[in-house]
Amino acid sequence: MSIQIFNTMSRQKEPFVTLEPGKVRMYVCGPTVYNYIHIGNARPVVVFDTVRRYLEYSGYQVSYVSNYTDVDDRLIRASKERGLSVPEIADQFIRAYEEDTDALNVMEATIHPRATRTMPEIIRFISQLVAKGFAYAVDGDVYFRTRKFADYGKLSHQSIDDLKSGARIEIDERKEDPLDFALWKKAKPGEINWSSPWGEGRPGWHIECSAMVEKYLGDTIDIHAGGTDLVFPHHENEIAQSEALHGQTMARYWMHNGHIQINHEKMSKSIGNVILVHDLVKKYDPQVIRFFILSVHYRHPINFSDELLTDAVQAFNRIKTAAYNLTHRLKDETVQKPDHAIEKIYRDRFAEAMDDDFNTANAEAVLFDIVRDANIALQDPDAPAGQLLAYRRVLYELSDVLGLKLNDSKAGILDKEVEALIERRQEARKAKDFKLADALRDQLSEAGIILEDTPQGVRWKRADQ
């Protein structure tokens, strides 16, 4: 079977066929860099990094572009509040983004363009839209003439008239039509700005992406991706701008990840219900966070809870422990030849899961199949080394495709994870949820952690120390 991708445009899975054989051009809408990223923002980063890794594993050469939106209203507001310039704020949070995504083992993008460094291309793009009659300038602003683009609404499956009646659109006297959206915004006094044929100003958010896609990947690309909140209006507007100008399909496959929610509400900076990656990595191994994000199919929502993360600690620990035990058992072996037939079984199952619209939940289940079978073999003192070596190799290989690092120099659970589990157990006891408290004690004991309740609090040690 070939790779199948669920395309938001057609609302169905389609066989993946690239524009150019063996090559993938992929663009993922990146963060607006005015704050730390939360676990919701981390989801598209991890998911599409995994898509990229799997495409490369399958033999494609991938050009992966992900932008930084480094100027917009929120950056301007943050700059005023903190008395720093917009580029200073952007630099700070680009660094923070790099740190967080490095921790999550996200591969470096082929190119990470910044909107503010793409200004000549953005201005030229807008000028060409004006020249073609798809945009008009009013008093220093420039708007896109939405109704002139006949396919508007095709990605979000809405007609222009539905949009008009349903939309929360501010009435703006200067626009010809309420559906028109800004390509260029006139600068307010003292605001950061760039010179343009329409005066000093800055670009709208949507046009940045159209210009960066065109500059770095071309008029038609293979995959365009982001969170599902970007379908409308962001991606709809990108399509309108790019297809109006180029007269050809902007992207062949549109992929959108579901949201991470808290209490069934989207995690979002504007609501304030966020859990920052920056904070979460202090409590959990970043590999566990990545494992957790991939444990659900990317299109499904995830209702975030500490409980899910502590389950992930436990589950990921089983994989690391098996990897450690295999390495330990094989360390005196001189046999170099793995049992290829065994490797193939799991590789095929893994490919079947990932070919089916990147079903990482099923792909992780294949890792657990390996762990289960390897643990059985490890119990057998006569298990052939070639078999154990195959388990070890395929476990590492497939974990690596998911971007999961199995550091087997030290088996098991990290100190900070033990502390997170203990903290949760204390909370459970305070809430008189003794069932959960006991379950957490069992979970820790399975991971080789012994708890001792003392008048000074909980002490813990490792069984093997």
Ligand X SMILES: Nc1ncnc2c1ncn2[C@@H]1O[C@H](COP(=O)(O)OP(=O)(O)OP(=O)(O)O)[C@@H](O)[C@H]1O
Tell me which residues in 254-283 interact with ligand X (CB under 6 A).
257, 259-260, 266-270
Residue 403's binding partner among ligand X, Zn ion, none (Cβ under 5 to 8 angstroms by kind) is none
Task: State the nearest-atom distance from the C-beta of 28 to Zn ion, in Å.
Answer: 8
The reply to whether 424 sits near ligand X by the rule CB under 6 A is: no
For the record, the structure tokens of 432 come out as 């008189």
Residue nearest to ligand X (CB): 227
Contact 463, 450 (CB under 8 A): yes
Q: What does the alpha-carbon distance between residue 212 and residue 281 come to, in Å, rounded to a whole number?
A: 31
The reply to whether 29 sits near ligand X by the rule CB under 6 A is: yes
The reply to whether 104 sits near ligand X by the rule CB under 6 A is: no
- 234 labelled as ligand-binding? yes
Q: What does the alpha-carbon distance between residue 65 and residue 110 come to, in Å, rounded to a whole number?
A: 6
Q: Which stretch binds Zn ion (CB under 5 A): 13-21, 29-37, 167-175, 304-312?
A: 29-37
Residue 62's binding partner among Zn ion, ligand X, none (Cβ under 5 to 8 angstroms by kind) is none
Nearer to ligand X, 227 or 338 (CB): 227
Task: State the nearest-atom distance from the C-beta of 209 to Zn ion, in Å.
Answer: 3
Q: Which stretch binds ligand X (CB under 6 A): 9-17, 175-183, 226-234, 401-409?
A: 226-234
Nearer to Zn ion, 29 or 326 (CB): 29
Task: State the nearest-atom distance from the C-beta of 268 to Zn ion, in Å.
Answer: 17
Q: Choose, by CB under 6 A, the member of 229, 306, 352, 433 that binds ligand X.
A: 229
Residues 6+ apart with CB under 8 A from 183: 126, 129, 135, 142, 143, 144, 203, 204, 206, 207, 241
Nearest alpha carbon to residue 412 among 227, 265, 285: 285
- 29 labelled as ligand-binding? yes
By CB under 6 A, how many residues form the interface with ligand X? 19
Q: Choose, by CB under 6 A, the member of 227, 286, 338, 403 that binds ligand X.
A: 227
Cis amide prior to 120 (ω within 30 degrees): no
The reply to whether 233 sits near ligand X by the rule CB under 6 A is: no
The reply to whether 204 sits near ligand X by the rule CB under 6 A is: no
Q: What does the alpha-carbon distance between residue 54 and residue 145 come to, in Å, rounded to a whole number?
A: 39
Three-state DSSP class for residue 41: helix
Measure the CA angle with vertex 94, ends 189 and 85; round to 5°: 25
The reply to whether 206 sits near ligand X by the rule CB under 6 A is: no
Mark residues 200-229: x for contact with Zn ion by CB under 5 A, - for none.
---------x--------------------
Mark residues 58-77: x for contact with ligand X by CB under 6 A, - for none.
--------------------
The reply to whether 286 sits near ligand X by the rule CB under 6 A is: no
Q: What does the alpha-carbon distance between residue 191 and residue 172 come to, in Å, rounded to a whole number?
A: 22
Three-state DSSP class for residue 464: coil
Q: What does the alpha-carbon distance between residue 364 and residue 78 come to, in Å, rounded to a whole number?
A: 40
Q: What does the alpha-carbon distance between residue 249 and residue 170 come to, in Å, rounded to a whole number?
A: 30
Q: What does the alpha-carbon distance between residue 18 and residue 223 come to, in Å, rounded to a whole number?
A: 9
For the record, the structure tokens of 40 come out as 């919701």
Q: What does the alpha-carbon distance between residue 365 and residue 291 come to, in Å, rounded to a whole number?
A: 12
Three-state DSSP class for residue 65: strand
- 427 labelled as ligand-binding? no
Residue 298, judged by CB atoms within 10 A of its CB (0-12, 13-18, 19+), counts as buried
The reply to whether 29 sits near Zn ion by the rule CB under 5 A is: yes
Mark residues 171-200: x for contact with ligand X by CB under 6 A, - for none.
------------------------------
Task: State the nearest-atom distance from the C-beta of 281 to ligand X, in Å.
Answer: 18
Three-state DSSP class for residue 413: coil
Task: State the nearest-atom distance from the C-beta of 99 to ligand X, in Å.
Answer: 16
Residues 6+ apart with CB under 8 A from 244: 129, 132, 134, 144, 148, 149
Task: Please report, in range form, the residues annotated as the binding site for ATP.
Answer: 269
What residues make contact with Zn ion under the rule CB under 5 A?
29, 209
What residues make contact with ligand X under the rule CB under 6 A?
29, 31-32, 40-41, 43-44, 226-227, 229-230, 257, 259-260, 266-270
